[in-house]
Amino acid sequence: MSQQTATHATDVVVRLAGESGEGVVSLGDLTVQMLSSLGLDIYTFQTFPAKIKGGTVMYQIRVHSGVTLSQGDGVDVLIALSKDGYDSFHMGMREDGILLYDSDAFTPPESPGRTEYGLPISTLANHEKQAIRSEVEGEQLKRLPPPKNIVGLGALMRLISAPLEPAEQYIRDLFGRKGEPIVRMNINALHVGAQHIEDQIGAKRTPHVYPVPVERERLTINGNQMLAIGALAAGCRFYAGYPITPASDIMEFLAKEMPKFGGELIQAEDEIAALGMCLGASFAGKKAMTATSGPGLSLMVEQINLGGQAEIPVVIADIQRGGASTGMPTKTSQGDLNLAVYGVHNESPRIVIAASSVEDCFWTSVDAFNLAEKYQCPVILLSDQALATRKCTIPMPELDKVRLEDRLKPTSEELSNGFRRFEITETGVSPMSIPGMAGGAYVSTGIEHDELSNPGYDPDLAQRMKAKRFLKLETLAKSEGASYYRLWGVKGHAKVGIIAFGSTEGVLRESTERAREEGYKVAHLHCRLINPLPVEAIKEFAARCDKILIPELNWSGQFGHWVRANTNIEYRAFAKDVGLPFAPNEIYNQIIELLAE
């Protein structure tokens, strides 16, 4: 990708908007498929109406010839399929952008500087359907939808000068079994849409996409799907969950796959039951996971504590969503950090890890299971709505790099010599027996207990057992945990250093790259492990940066507070919680402002 020359570089942002159910999502999915087949990188960003039916939907696709790190800033091409879609989502369009609208549906207000294309989508689609009416049986004809999406796809492909061949092939594959007339109708629709633009295009400005040779096998997939596949790769064989936006599709995905992997999945009656079932399954020896969002995580708090106190491995994926209480379920946020880190009565150890990109969702899921097994405690995996629903083209994960950890189990000698489930060790980790192991019987319990698991409240015991449990986090922090971060940007002295976590990694990389291209010395440390934090790495990083900026998607700057509590560094907060991911410009402007001070 580095051999791309400036003249052949592609960076186009296409936004589709219309009524839910009107085909916005399917047209978006089709476009993604066509463009990724050209070897281009895709990064999507969707907003969903918080309604059961109806409402306007937005599907934004950034297509890029390099690695795509964010949804981009301005919109180059807006495809408006309805007036409401136009009204809700034309903001953010570049002033000299291109509007392609369904002229059967509405006429947009005039806007100087903009290039406009009217496309009578319904008329054209109906015409293509009528053209084959004599060749299709009455009942099939009735159920046959006019090929509106395909007309739109043809128009869009022409508008961005993309070849039509991949779409033709796709149509043949998809509709082949429905008969030649249906294939012909769709291929004609594709060309009619393209021709309609061709006729208007003249000297009008159009963006271009340039195919890129594909060197590695790539997939087009979203964050929740990668997270779920990562769990299966990590050996997850038990899942219990309760429906909640935007985590439900993890359960839906695993419901299809879990039986094929010989595992079990239960839709629980609530999140409390979901985590209870996972703790039970893990106690019984299975790798178990639940996924939820903020309201569900709130309900799970008591049992997260039980998992910490009783030392049970379990993975809890929290797909954060916008707002407090019911908030904005279809919007994004990083607002659950405090709950993930501090959500507990009294104290018990838990590990918090955050996924930072679609690709990283796979590896973070694997890491979460490994950490849970190794340190025998709950691991909260933070993702968010934007990351969960974002589709990206990414290289195929190298599965031979997946390393699996299993919990420490007692030896036969330990089992025959008065087995101590909660034995105090140098690492804090004790062998965990599994029901069925003779000599391994113990009571897993949330009550304070001794090494044998017998209840006990004496002060010395309370001190020793608590220290034992927290020693596990120290062991993690001193060993592999110290390297759970990534560094970007300048290696030595930096004027501005950004410290952040989670799904903002891509947009921060893009905005800091932009600043560096303009000659500013900017660096970026991205934390993968949130608890325990890679404290030494953060301190070293802060020491080589003149100023630190901590951007995050919540109201009060939770991550900044957590970093300062652990490292005592000074920083500038940039906390924002409006339901949307950061745009590269916003961060770039923050960097420039901070440099100017």
Partner 1 sequence: MPETAVSQQQYAPKDYKSSLKPIWCPGCGDFGVLNALYKAMSICGLSPEKTVIVSGIGCSSRLPGFVTTYGFHSVHGRALTIATGIKVSRPDLNVVVVGGDGDGYSIGAGHIPHTARRNPDITYLIMNNNVYGLTKGQVSPTSMVPMASLQANIDPKRWKTTPYGMTEDYINPIAMAIAYDISFVARGFSYRPNQLTEIIVAGLQHKGFSLIDAFSPCPTFNQDQTDDYYKEQTYDVPEDHDPTDRVKAFELALRTDGYPIGVIYRNDTKHSIMEEQAALKARFAGQPSGSVSALLHRFV
Please name the residues in contact with 163: beta carbons below 8 A apart, sequence gap of 6 or more: 38, 157, 211
- Lookup result for tokens 């400036």: 6
| Nearest to partner 1 of 181, 235 (CB atom) | 235
| Nearest to partner 1 of 256, 539 (CB atom) | 256
Burial 230-266 (b: 16+ CB within 10 A, else e): bbbbbbbbbbbbbebbbbbbbbebbeeebeeeebebb
Report the distance separating Cα 492 and Cα 289, nearest Å.
Answer: 41
Q: C-alpha angle with apex 249: 329 to 399, nearest 5 degrees?
A: 125
Q: C-alpha angle with apex 237: 236 to 242, nearest 5 degrees?
A: 85
Q: Which two tokens stand for residue 154?
A: 């043809």
Burial 193-204 (b: 16+ CB within 10 A, else e): bbebbeebeeee
Q: CB 46 → partner 1: shortest distance, Å? A: 17
3-state secondary structure 491-545: CCCEEEEEEEEHHHHHHHHHHHHHHHHCCCCEEEEEECEEECCCHHHHHHHHHCE
| Nearest to partner 1 of 56, 303 (CB atom) | 303
Radius of gyration of the CA atoms of the chain, in A? 27
Interacting residues toward partner 1 by CB under 8 A? 217-221, 225, 229, 232-233, 237-238, 240, 257, 259-262, 264, 266, 268-270, 272-286, 288, 302-303, 306, 310, 396-397, 399, 435-447, 454-455
| Nearest to partner 1 of 310, 553 (CB atom) | 310
Report the distance separating Cα 103 and Cα 384, nearest Å.
Answer: 37
| Nearest to partner 1 of 257, 513 (CB atom) | 257
Please name the residues in contact with 303: beta carbons below 8 A apart, sequence gap of 6 or more: 272, 275, 276, 279
Q: CB 489 → partner 1: shortest distance, Å? A: 31
Specify the amino acid at residue 461: L
Report the distance separating Cα 411 and Cα 160, nearest Å.
Answer: 64
| Nearest to partner 1 of 132, 300 (CB atom) | 300
List helix spans (H) across 284-376. Answer: 294-310, 337-342, 358-375
| Nearest to partner 1 of 82, 303 (CB atom) | 303
Q: CB 470 → partner 1: shortest distance, Å? A: 20
What strand order describes the sheet that includes 351-354?
264-267, 238-241, 288-292, 314-320, 378-384, 351-354, 529-531
Half-sphere exposure of 110 (CA within 13 A, CB side): 1
Report the distance separating Cα 300 and Cα 290, nearest Å.
Answer: 10
| Nearest to partner 1 of 21, 455 (CB atom) | 455
Q: Which two tokens stand for residue 239?
A: 């899942």
| Nearest to partner 1 of 167, 254 (CB atom) | 254
| Nearest to partner 1 of 284, 578 (CB atom) | 284
| Nearest to partner 1 of 108, 280 (CB atom) | 280
| Nearest to partner 1 of 228, 527 (CB atom) | 228
Q: CB 381 → partner 1: shortest distance, Å? A: 18
Q: CB 432 → partner 1: shortest distance, Å? A: 12
Q: CB 268 → partner 1: shortest distance, Å? A: 7
Please name the residues in contact with 439: beta carbons below 8 A apart, sequence gap of 6 or more: 415, 416, 419, 433
- Could you tell me which residues are beta bridge partners of residue 547? 496
| Nearest to partner 1 of 222, 383 (CB atom) | 222
Handedness of CA 308, 309, 311, 313 (dihedral sign): negative
Report the distance separating Cα 360 and Cα 390, nearest Å.
Answer: 13
Q: CB 500 → partner 1: shortest distance, Å? A: 28
| Nearest to partner 1 of 100, 229 (CB atom) | 229
Report the distance separating Cα 159 and Cα 410, nearest Å.
Answer: 65
**Residue 449 in contact with residue 456, Cβ under 8 Å?**
yes
Element (H, E) at 172: helix 165-175
Residue 561: other Cβ atoms inside 10 A: 16
| Nearest to partner 1 of 424, 437 (CB atom) | 437
**Residue 500 in contact with residue 508, Cβ under 8 Å?**
yes
